[in-house]
Amino acid sequence: MLFKQAPQPRGPFVYLRRVAIADRENWLALRRESKSFLQPWEPLWDSQVLTRAGFSRFCNYHTSGWKDGHLRGFLIFSNQTDTLLGGITLSNIRYGANMSANLGYWIGKPHARKGYMQEAIILILDYAFISLGLNRVEASCMPDNRPSSRLLLKNKFVNEGEARAYLHINGVWEDHLLFAILACDERPRLPEL
């Protein structure tokens, strides 16, 4: 797939924008502030992740993913204040007979459980199914991450089972619940702006 300029999906309360070098200080501050909140659910953070060099690696990874078509990563911002709220990514994008991607997301601790991520997921699913033409979006979460599993179910993902030792999270191989939604499935919609 050819590299294309990123759209800016926008809902009533949030918009999604591609990561930019100008986001560095806000991204580092939010990730630092949210470290203890996020770390139990993410791969082990290396010593450089919360540094300028770590942010540069993050940007380079996203830029190369956009160029080769395997990743579409966005940061989530408030429409009202332009405050950085979190991030959402379609990764492992596959075309041909598969036409699918994996969904990953994180929200900063001060912004959790306020409905922002539900709106961001609705926006990214529209992007996946309409703009990218995918058929399936998959997501996973650890069984004890009840807020994340509730969020996926609220967005009409279907629980398709459990995978043993599925992802290496915070230094441990963790089982994960597996969820998916298809382009033809009913899903929540946002009101027209």
Q: Is residue 42 part of a domain?
A: yes
Q: Is residue 63 part of a domain?
A: yes
Rounded CA Rg of the chain: 16
pLDDT, tens digit, 9 for 90 and up, residues 1-35: 333 445 689 999 999 999 999 999 999 999 999 99
The number of domains in the chain is 1
Q: Is residue 106 part of a domain?
A: yes
Burial of 125 (0-12, 13-18, 19+ CB in 10 A): buried
Q: Is residue 124 part of a domain?
A: yes
Q: Is residue 161 part of a domain?
A: no
pLDDT, tens digit, 9 for 90 and up, residues 162-182: 999 999 999 999 999 999 999
Amino acid at position 141, single letter: C
Q: Is residue 6 part of a domain?
A: no
Task: Give the residue among 135, 115, 127, 150 at the shortest CA–CA distance from 181.
Answer: 135
Q: What local confidence, expressed as pLDDT, does residue 1 receive?
A: 36
pLDDT, tens digit, 9 for 90 and up, residues 33-52: 999 999 999 998 888 889 99
Residue 164, both tokens: 């043993």
Q: Is residue 150 part of a domain?
A: no
The CATH number of residue 105's host domain is: 3.40.630.30
Specify the pTM. 0.92
Q: Is residue 51 part of a domain?
A: yes
pLDDT, tens digit, 9 for 90 and up, residues 95-127: 999 999 999 999 999 999 999 999 999 999 999
- Kindly list the strands in the beta sheet with 84-94, ordered across the sheet, starting from the edge strand earlier in the chain: 14-17, 72-78, 84-94, 100-107, 136-141, 172-182, 158-169
Domain that holds residue 25: 14-137
